[in-house]
Structure 1
């Protein structure tokens, strides 16, 4: 068999050249197709990598913004609590100031509310309770003191705790409740 192949004669050399040319064309086309697919794949991978980096940057930016928003939110909540606390203190101090101003007005009116020939010996204000002690040489004057105090606004529930007389001096001990500033 080996001898048969050695002496084989090619009567159609153009066919052999055509086959070689087709093989070269297919090889060149395959190489070109491989190169194009490789380049396209490379660019696809490159663009995907760029998109991934963009998304990571965007994600990082969103996380940073979210973190900043949370910090601002926490700071705002803290400031609001502090502001509420300060407003509550201000309101409390305003109430105390109004009560003190009204009590001052009551104290300023005490001398005019005290009848002549009578005088106050003690005035106590503790826990919205008022205790008044008065003395007089005239029983009528000191006994009218209770009715005079009832006319003062902001003082109510006036009760005589003790009324006594020693020699010519009459002693009166009143208790009352401070009701606060009258409504206008």
Structure 2
């Protein structure tokens, strides 16, 4: 005789799985965002060295703004990663680069075509686009590696509670960032693309 699983236990198990998945994704997104913000500054520095006329100088406010942009975008992006992770390749390198490539297509191409601050059209375009594309790929890889390590760390040491807390604390900020980036895409980026083309 087949015993039907208790719906309450099944629901609790699914909620626990979602909490672990997104908790790890959110924590990895924060780490990825900080590193990405610093790499954004490095990219701008490389472009400024090769094309000195593009230089705007280095300020603490500018670095902090890039850290906020990187962290906000990566936190929003971790929501999509948490949703898509099961459907991506199992191999970590393929999963990370694949997810980074998806980001480069979905976010990178509109970003390039919108030409923010008129910085991406002109002789510096090939270098800037190559570096930003590499950043999208690295971001996907960092998010994936961080996610796997955080999840393994939590499971091996019975520290799942850390991920449940991460999920509870970061769910609303992540959703706000996701809504904000989506709104910006339709309110600013797409109109800029139309104006440029």
For Structure 1 versus Structure 2, the TM-score category normalised by the shorter chain is under 0.3
Structure with greater strand share of residues? 1
Higher-Rg member (1/2)? 1
With normalisation by structure 2, the TM-score equals 0.26
Greater relative contact order (CA < 8 Å, ≥ 6 in sequence): 2
